Chains A and B, each alone.
Chain A
Amino acid sequence: MHMADALIVPTVAGTMYAASAAAAVYSVKKVRQEDDAKKIPVMGVMGAFVFAAQMINFTIPGTGSSGHLCGGMLISAILGPYAGFLAMIGVLFIQCILFADGGLLAFGCNVWNMAFYGCFAGALLIWKNIMKNGVTRKKIIAASVIGCVATMQLGAFSVTLETLASGVSALPFTAFVSVMQPIHLAIGLAEGCITAAVLVFVYQARPSLLWGIGTADEDQAKGSKGRLSYRSMLAVIAAAAAVTAGGLSVAASSFPDGLEWSMEKVAGSSELEADGGVYEAAQQIQDMTAVLPDYSFKDTDTVLGTSFSGIAGGIAVMGLCIGCSCLFRFFKRRNVKNSH
Chain B
Amino acid sequence: MSNVNNAVREVRRISAMAQQDKWLNRVHPLAKLGVTVLYIALAVSYTANEGIGLLGMSVYPITLFVAGDISAADSLKRLRAVLILVCAVGILNPFLDTRPAGHIGSITVSAGVVSMLLLAFKGVLSVLAAYLLMATTTVEKLCSGLYSLHMPKLLVTVILLTYRYITLLMEEAGRLQQAYALRAPGQRGIRPAAWGSLAGSLLLRSMDRAETVYESMCLRGFNGAFRVSAGRMRWSDLLYMIFWAVLLVLVRLFIFQ
Chain A interface residues (CB < 8 Å from chain B):
2, 4-10, 13, 24-25, 28, 31-32, 37-38, 40-49, 51-53, 55-61, 66, 69, 78, 86-87, 89-91, 93-94, 96-101, 103-105, 163, 168-171, 193-194, 197-198, 200-202, 205-206, 209
Whether the Cβ atoms of A56 and B200 lie closer than 8 Å is no
B210 located at the interface, meaning its Cβ lies under 8 Å from any Cβ of chain A in the complex: yes
Taking a contact as CB atoms closer than 8 A, the residue among B4, B7, B78, B207 that contacts A209 in the complex is: B207
Which residues of chain A come closer than 8 Å to B164, judged between CB atoms? 44, 48
A13 CB to nearest chain B CB (Å): 7
Known: A40-B161, A89-B155. A7 touches B86 (CB 8 A): yes
Whether the Cβ atoms of B169 and A28 lie closer than 8 Å is no
Taking a contact as CB atoms closer than 8 A, the residue among A38, A66, A94, A200 that contacts B162 in the complex is: A94
Task: Report whether over half of chain B's contact residues are helix, strand or loop; otherwise say mixed.
Answer: helix
A258 CB to nearest chain B CB (Å): 14
Known: A87-B162, A94-B163. A205 touches B44 (CB 8 A): no
28 A-B Cβ contacts within 8 A? A2-B85, A5-B40, A7-B86, A10-B41, A28-B155, A31-B154, A41-B161, A44-B164, A45-B210, A46-B206, A46-B210, A47-B158, A48-B164, A48-B168, A52-B4, A52-B202, A55-B7, A57-B3, A57-B190, A78-B203, A90-B158, A90-B162, A94-B139, A98-B10, A99-B10, A170-B112, A194-B195, A198-B200
Which residues of chain B come closer than 8 Å to A10, judged between CB atoms? 41, 44-45
Whether the Cβ atoms of B213 and A45 lie closer than 8 Å is yes
Which residues of chain B come closer than 8 Å to A194, judged between CB atoms? 195, 199
Whether the Cβ atoms of A59 and B192 lie closer than 8 Å is yes
A305 to B69, CA, bound (A): 51
Whether the Cβ atoms of A58 and B10 lie closer than 8 Å is no
B62 located at the interface, meaning its Cβ lies under 8 Å from any Cβ of chain A in the complex: no
B25 located at the interface, meaning its Cβ lies under 8 Å from any Cβ of chain A in the complex: no
A38 to B210, CA, bound (A): 9
B168 CB to nearest chain A CB (Å): 7
Which residues of chain A come closer than 8 Å to B187, judged between CB atoms? 59
Known: A6-B122, A209-B207. A44 touches B199 (CB 8 A): no
Whether the Cβ atoms of B78 and A100 lie closer than 8 Å is yes
Task: Report whether over half of chain A's contact residues are helix, strand or loop; otherwise say mixed.
Answer: helix
Within 8 A of A (CB), among B187-240: 187-192, 195-204, 206-207, 209-210, 213-214, 217, 222-225
B144 located at the interface, meaning its Cβ lies under 8 Å from any Cβ of chain A in the complex: no
Taking a contact as CB atoms closer than 8 A, the residue among A5, A7, A53 that contacts B89 in the complex is: A7
- 1/0 contact string of B84-120 vs chain A (CB within 8 Å): 0110011011001100000000000000100100011
Whether the Cβ atoms of B92 and A171 lie closer than 8 Å is yes
Which residues of chain A come closer than 8 Å to B127, judged between CB atoms? 4-5, 100, 103
A52 to B142, CA, bound (A): 22
Which residues of chain A come closer than 8 Å to B30, judged between CB atoms? none
A50 to B214, CA, bound (A): 19
Taking a contact as CB atoms closer than 8 A, the residue among B93, B134, B158, B200 that contacts A201 in the complex is: B200
A99 to B4, CA, bound (A): 13
Which residues of chain B come closer than 8 Å to A105, judged between CB atoms? 37, 40-41, 44, 126
Known: A51-B166, A94-B163, A198-B203. A13 touches B41 (CB 8 A): yes
Whether the Cβ atoms of A69 and B188 lie closer than 8 Å is no
Which residues of chain B come closer than 8 Å to A103, judged between CB atoms? 40, 126-127, 130
Which residues of chain A come closer than 8 Å to B10, judged between CB atoms? 98-99
Taking a contact as CB atoms closer than 8 A, the residue among A46, A59, A197 that contacts B189 in the complex is: A59
Which residues of chain B come closer than 8 Å to A58, judged between CB atoms? 189-190, 192, 195
Whether the Cβ atoms of A56 and B177 lie closer than 8 Å is yes
Taking a contact as CB atoms closer than 8 A, the residue among B40, B189, B210 that contacts A57 in the complex is: B189
Contact residues on B (Cβ < 8 Å of other chain), bracket: 35 or more
Known: A105-B126, A197-B195. A59 touches B190 (CB 8 A): yes
A269 CB to nearest chain B CB (Å): 18
Whether the Cβ atoms of A40 and B115 lie closer than 8 Å is no
Which residues of chain B come closer than 8 Å to A4, judged between CB atoms? 82, 85-86, 123, 126-127
Whether the Cβ atoms of A98 and B40 lie closer than 8 Å is no
A66 to B187, CA, bound (A): 11
B140 located at the interface, meaning its Cβ lies under 8 Å from any Cβ of chain A in the complex: no
Whether the Cβ atoms of A42 and B130 lie closer than 8 Å is no
A101 to B134, CA, bound (A): 13
Known: A7-B89, A40-B161, A86-B158. A202 touches B200 (CB 8 A): yes
Further pairs besides A103-B40, A105-B40: 12, Cβ < 8 Å: A5-B123, A40-B225, A44-B162, A48-B162, A57-B3, A66-B189, A90-B163, A94-B162, A104-B40, A104-B126, A171-B92, A197-B192
Which residues of chain B come closer than 8 Å to A25, judged between CB atoms? 152
A57 to B210, CA, bound (A): 24
- 1/0 contact string of B143-177 vs chain A (CB within 8 Å): 00000000010110111111111101110111011
B133 located at the interface, meaning its Cβ lies under 8 Å from any Cβ of chain A in the complex: yes
Whether the Cβ atoms of B134 and A94 lie closer than 8 Å is no
Whether the Cβ atoms of B174 and A98 lie closer than 8 Å is no
